[in-house]
């Protein structure tokens, strides 16, 4: 390309495109608080944040910290469960967002936040927070029912499936709707590490559920505004179409590249997390580090008690509907055994024949084993069996004869 063409055509247009990107970024930065915080009210941006360190929190029984039974009944927190509470004084309308830093044991546990009004005239406010297992996360309080007036108590409780989950709050900071808080929040939310979950095969959000702004939206706005600025300047520059299209393309790919850097950081953090668990192990050793390692050990125990694959069929019963992780993982680990993995009762007893096996996974209260008669039975059917194995995960039986249904025969 002749140097005169570069200097005459590409350079001014290129500078214009670059300026368009800068101008668009500056514009978005300027208007961001009004765009992102529109319903949070004004007048609060200048107040300093209220920061509650770990020492401000102490443990109280839920019954005394949260005398309102509605809050307890709705969240499932028991009156004797511990709640970490602190007693700040802050005006709710001035602090529409919270940065919470904590550590807890069970990543599946539900995290709840409670608050009480200074006047005591309003019911205890509460909400469930979508928070990483450990570490910091931001939460929007502005639109929560009851987050109003003067707040005199805030508390946090973590509820696992099997009772209380140990929780320690390292800090809770309440922020106004200020530009500084917005910058901090966006940076932290966009760069937070989110490890793989099964839903990643269905979609990638890029941020958590409570994020203030998706990075893709921000990049899309940046791109659109930058294109508009550039196209406006082209009315004077009048570059050839080749130059116009090429620079528009670059205008799209600069924000694209920024998004891709965020994604690259996620991938690198994911590799580090995976390496912390699996690095240096052989493939068979990795099984012991998987979340279902206990199930895999149970499967090995079952294999020792089962005939070779192909010599038996296995009916798996479990009290679940749809695609249940535990029973499906068991089926996968038991391969290449021939498995029928549907149902929670003996509704298919008439299909079972001698030599089959029945695996009752977990609690199936309706099905009863009668050791005197060597029979498994429930309201649907009965099957002559011999018990092969009993374990906290399940019970394995060998079918000794043809099963039968109880329909039309009178239920036992």
Partner 1 sequence: MPLLEGIDPWGLSVALALPWLVGSLLVAVVLRRASPALVIGHGFMAGQVMVALVLLLWDAAGLRLSFMPPAAILAGVAVGLAFVVWRRAGFGRPPSPSRRMLWNLVWMLPLAAFLLERGGVLAQELALRPLYAWDAWMNWVPRAVVWYHYEWLVPFVMPPDWLAAAPEETVYTLGNWRAGDYPPGIPLLLLWQMLGAGTADHSLLYLPWLLLPASFALALWGHLRRHGLVAPAAALAVFAWLSQPFVNTHAVLAGYADLWLAVAFSLGATALAEWQRGGERGFALLAAVMALACVLFKTPGLAFASMLVVGAVVLAIRPPARWVWRIAVACATVLVAGLLLAMHPGLRALIGDGLAIPLPGPLPVLRIEPGPLLPYLWESLFVQANWHLLWLLIAFAFTVAALFRGRPAFENVAVGLLVLALGFLLGLFGFTHYFAQAENGVTFNRTLLYLAPLGVFVAFMLLAPWLGGERVERDESA
Site pattern 352..391 for partner 1 (x: CB under 8 A): -x--------------------------------------
Output the smallest distance, CB 332 to partner 1, in A: 5
Q: What is the CA radius of gyration of the chain?
A: 30
Among 56, 78, 214, 301, binds partner 1 (CB under 8 A): 214
Q: Between 232 and 368, name the residue whose CB sits nearer to partner 1.
A: 232
Among 61, 245, 368, 386, binds partner 1 (CB under 8 A): 245
Q: Which span (46-54, 140-148, 178-186, 236-244) binds partner 1, by CB under 8 A?
A: 236-244
Output the smallest distance, CB 329 to partner 1, in A: 7
Residue 109 sits at the vertex; the CA angle it makes with 106 and 394, to the nearest 5 degrees, is: 75
Is 406 a residue that touches partner 1 (CB under 8 A)? no
Among 256, 294, 386, 409, binds partner 1 (CB under 8 A): 256
CA distance linking residue 343 with residue 91, whole number of Å: 54
Q: Which span (77-85, 167-175, 213-221, 402-410) binds partner 1, by CB under 8 A?
A: 213-221
Q: Which span (134-142, 179-187, 246-254, 390-398) binds partner 1, by CB under 8 A?
A: 246-254
Q: Which span (49-57, 109-117, 120-128, 347-355) binds partner 1, by CB under 8 A?
A: 347-355
Site pattern 119..148 for partner 1 (x: CB under 8 A): ------------------------------
The burial class, CB within 10 Å (0-12 / 13-18 / 19+), for 374 is middle
Output the smallest distance, CB 178 to partner 1, in A: 25
Output the smallest distance, CB 412 to partner 1, in A: 24
Report the sign of the C-alpha dihedral through residues 223, 226, 230, 232, in that order.
Answer: positive
Is 208 a residue that touches partner 1 (CB under 8 A)? no
Site pattern 325..344 for partner 1 (x: CB under 8 A): --xxx-xx--xx-xxxxx--
Place of tokens 């989110």: 194
**Contacts to partner 1 from residues 39-58, by CB under 8 A:** none
Residues 6+ apart with CB under 8 A from 71: 77, 114, 123, 124, 125, 126
Q: How many residues bind partner 1 (CB under 8 A)?
A: 76
Residue 167 has a CB neighbour count (10 Å cut-off) of: 22
Q: Between 198 and 410, name the residue whose CB sits nearer to partner 1.
A: 198
3-state secondary structure of 190: helix
CA distance linking residue 364 with residue 346, whole number of Å: 11
Is 106 a residue that touches partner 1 (CB under 8 A)? no
Cα distances from 369 to residues 85, 123, 248, in angstroms, run 49, 50, 73
Q: Which span (83-91, 114-122, 250-258, 382-390) binds partner 1, by CB under 8 A?
A: 250-258
Q: Between 31 and 217, name the residue whose CB sits nearer to partner 1.
A: 217
**Contacts to partner 1 from residues 263-292, by CB under 8 A:** 263-264, 267-268, 270-271, 274-275, 278-287, 290
CA distance linking residue 391 with residue 370, whole number of Å: 17
> In terms of DSSP H, where are the helices of 152-214?
179-191
Characterise 175 by phi-psi region: left (phi > 0), alpha (psi -120 to 50), beta (else): beta
Is 203 a residue that touches partner 1 (CB under 8 A)? yes
Q: DSSP letters of 23-66?
A: HHHHHHHHHHHHHHSTTS-SS-TTSPPEEEEGGG-EEEEHHHH-
Q: Between 281 and 386, name the residue whose CB sits nearer to partner 1.
A: 281
* Residue 73 per-residue DSSP state: H
Q: Between 121 and 282, name the residue whose CB sits nearer to partner 1.
A: 282
Q: Which span (39-47, 92-100, 130-138, 322-330) binds partner 1, by CB under 8 A?
A: 322-330
Among 368, 350, 351, 371, which residue's Cα sits nearest to residue 360? 368
Backbone angles phi, psi at 323, to 5 degrees: -85, 100
Among 327, 323, 269, which residue's Cα sits nearest to residue 132? 269
Is 168 a residue that touches partner 1 (CB under 8 A)? no
Output the smallest distance, CB 152 to partner 1, in A: 38
């Amino acid at each position: 390309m002749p140097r005169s063409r570069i200097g005459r055509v590409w350079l001014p247009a290129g500078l214009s495109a670059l300026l368009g990107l800068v101008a668009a970024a500056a514009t978005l930065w300027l208007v961001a608080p009004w765009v992102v915080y529109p319903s949070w009210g004004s007048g609060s941006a200048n107040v300093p944040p209220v920061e509650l360190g770990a020492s401000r929190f102490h443990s109280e029984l839920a019954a005394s910290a949260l005398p309102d039974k509605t809050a307890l009944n709705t969240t499932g927190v028991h009156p004797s469960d511990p709640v970490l509470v602190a007693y700040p004084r802050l005006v709710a309308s001035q602090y529409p967002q919270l940065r919470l830093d904590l550590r807890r044991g069970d990543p599946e546990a539900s995290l709840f936040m409670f608050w009480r009004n200074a006047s005591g005239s309003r019911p205890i406010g509460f909400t469930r927070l979508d928070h990483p297992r450990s570490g910091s996360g931001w939460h929007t309080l502005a639109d929560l029912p009851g987050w109003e007036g003067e707040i005199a108590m805030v508390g946090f409780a973590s509820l696992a499936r099997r009772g209380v989950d140990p929780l320690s709050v390292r800090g809770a900071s309440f922020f106004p709707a200020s530009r500084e808080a917005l910058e901090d929040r966006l940076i932290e939310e966009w760069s937070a590490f989110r490890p793989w979950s099964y839903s990643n095969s269905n979609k990638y959000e890029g941020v958590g559920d409570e994020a203030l702004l998706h990075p893709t939206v921000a990049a899309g706005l940046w791109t659109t505004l930058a294109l508009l600025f550039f196209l406006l300047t082209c009315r004077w520059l009048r570059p050839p179409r080749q130059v116009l299209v090429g620079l528009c393309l670059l205008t799209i790919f600069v924000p694209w590249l920024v998004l891709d850097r965020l994604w690259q950081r996620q991938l690198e953090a994911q590799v580090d997390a995976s390496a912390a668990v699996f690095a240096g192990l052989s493939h068979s050793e990795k099984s012991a580090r998987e979340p279902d390692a206990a199930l895999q050990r149970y499967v090995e125990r079952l294999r020792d008690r089962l005939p070779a694959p192909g010599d038996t069929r296995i009916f798996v019963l479990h009290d679940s509907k749809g695609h249940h992780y535990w029973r499906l993982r068991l089926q996968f680990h038991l391969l290449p055994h021939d498995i029928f993995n549907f149902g929670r009762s003996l509704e298919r007893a008439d299909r079972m024949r001698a030599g089959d096996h029945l695996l009752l996974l977990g609690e199936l209260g309706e099905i009863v084993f009668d050791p005197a008669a060597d029979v498994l039975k429930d309201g649907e059917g009965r099957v002559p069996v011999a018990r092969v194995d009993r374990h906290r995960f399940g019970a394995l039986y060998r079918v000794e004869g043809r099963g039968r249904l109880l329909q039309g025969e009178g239920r036992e």
